[in-house]
Amino acid sequence: MSEESKATENLKQLKERMKLIADADPAQYHNDYSLKRYLTAFKTVDDAFQAILKTNKWRVEYGVKDLHENKELIEKYKDKARVLRHRDIVGRPIVYIPAKNHSTSDRNIDDLTKFIVHCLEDASKKCFEEVVDNLCIIFDLNDFTLSCMDYQVLKNLIWLLSRHYPERLGICLIINAPAFFSGCWAVIKGWLDENTARKVTFVNNEMELCQYVIPDILPTDI
């Protein structure tokens, strides 16, 4: 069986399993594109299905669909990240994160994680899934200092992307990185699987940035 035929058969089997839980969860979050992402990430129909069940349970318990109504949370952390109106060169929605605005001393880890989920949800809804169904995340390290480094937040983001937003990350751009960030990256890279690590790109100048996004779309007000 060819890889394409195998993928088609796996999707068919996974869709059959999804029908079994449709009555219990009629407002299914997952479409064919979502199922394909889970199959890509978790390899087998069994593992993908179990991962989907965990995501469904998490979304309900975490109150994901209601996060956009939490105006107080969004207002409090609005300078930490923004889903941009514009897209990258290939059409991905962009989550822009100005790291200089972050500090471990002025954040509640649970609230900030909820805000991250809100941003991932907002960006994911902007995907033209028939064309491109993944995201561009930009970490802007302009004016970054070690006091801005928050390993726990990054661990939470990595966990969310791997468990509940599998294959949603298309590319992660790190721009304006100071030389000392190489030490931080050595730690962070150890938490990433090989596939995710390949999606992280350090951009060293504006000419390189133009290969991915139009520089003028990046915010100057946060």
Could you tell me the pLDDT band of residue 4, with boundaries at 50, 70 and 90? confident
Query: Is 28 a residue whose pLDDT tops 80?
Result: no
Beta bridge partners of 87: 93
Query: Is 112 a residue whose pLDDT tops 60?
Result: yes
- For residues 71-86, average pLDDT: 97
- For residues 117-139, average pLDDT: 96
Query: Is 29 a residue whose pLDDT tops 80?
Result: no
Q: What is the pTM (predicted TM-score) of this model? A: 0.94
What's the pLDDT score for residue 24? 62
Query: Is 27 a residue whose pLDDT tops 70?
Result: no
pLDDT, tens digit (0-9, with 9 covering 90-100), for 157-176: 999 999 999 999 999 999 99
**Contacts for 216-222 with beta carbons within 8 Å, 24 or more apart?**
217/84, 217/85, 217/86, 217/94, 218/84, 218/96, 218/138, 218/140, 219/82, 219/84, 219/96, 219/98, 222/78, 222/79, 222/82, 222/98, 222/101
Beta strands in the chain (DSSP E): 82-87, 93-98, 135-140, 169-175, 200-203
Query: Is 149 a residue whose pLDDT tops 80?
Result: yes
Helix (H) or strand (E) holding 182: helix 181-189
Query: Is 34 a residue whose pLDDT tops 80?
Result: yes
What's the pLDDT score for residue 134? 97
- For residues 174-179, average pLDDT: 97
Query: Is 26 a residue whose pLDDT tops 70?
Result: no
Three-class secondary structure assignment of 79-108: CCCEEEEEECCCCCEEEEEEHHHCCHHHCC
In percent, how much of the chain has pLDDT > 90? 89
